[in-house]
Amino acid sequence: MDNFLLTNEIIFESKPDAVPYNYRISYKVSQLCLIISSSCNGKGGCSLVKLHIISSALNTKAYMQILDDYMNEKSSYMLVRFDPAVNRGIKYAVADGLVFQLKNGTFRLTEKGKRLMIKINDEENLLLNEKRYLSSLGKKLTNEKIESLMSMWRYKNVDDK
């Protein structure tokens, strides 16, 4: 067994893996809080599908454009990537007491979450692109729009099975 070549010369050492910012807990949780605070009116809360739609749009400029086009009725249909990281992120947010879930399943910010928003908004350069896009999107993505989009998915992708 000692006859392996170069066993003493070559040592493999595992190095830590890089994690894309998008999958950092702090980033995703803050992003979700930001979406809840700027895209939903207070009482209704924010549905999980909506979080998915906007969070996926925030990924790249191209996705932002696609959502914009759909909102402005330039295109009648869009696909959304349902990222499991959003689900995990919202779970962390709930567990950390930044967000709570209403009876109907939607999410709202807690007092602590609101305090976090104030801190984030105080720092002008923090999450600059996200803030800019969300303020342009405003509250335009209504539940009706989401409903109609979801029904489209049902029809259009029925063959995909």
Q: Tell which one of 9, 123, 124, 144 touches another protein (CB under 8 A).
A: 123
Calpha distance 48→117 (Å, rounded)? 19
Stretch that binds another protein, among 27-35, 42-50, 63-71, 153-161 (CB under 8 A): 27-35
Is 32 an interacting residue with respect to another protein (CB under 8 A)? Answer: no
Q: Which stretch binds another protein (CB under 8 A): 36-44, 82-90, 101-109, 133-141?
A: 82-90
- 23 touches another protein by CB under 8 A: yes
44's CB contacts (< 8 A; 6+ apart) are 106, 143
Cβ 64 to another protein shortest distance, Å: 13
The secondary structure element, H or E, covering residue 145 is: helix 143-156
Query: Which of 48, 49, 78, 127 touches another protein (CB under 8 A)?
Result: 127
Residue 48, interface with another protein (CB under 8 A)? Answer: no
Query: 90 Cβ partners below 8 Å, 6+ apart?
Result: 32, 48, 51, 99, 107
Q: Which of 74, 115, 132, 140 binds another protein (CB under 8 A)?
A: 115
- Least separation in angstroms between residue 150's CB and another protein is 24
**Quick check: helix, strand or coil at residue 18?**
coil
Selection from 110, 134, 108 nearest residue 121 by Cα: 134
Handedness of CA 99, 102, 104, 108 (dihedral sign): negative
In the complex, which residues of this chain contact another protein (CB under 8 A)?
A: 14-30, 84-85, 88-89, 92, 95-98, 112, 115-116, 119-120, 123, 126-127
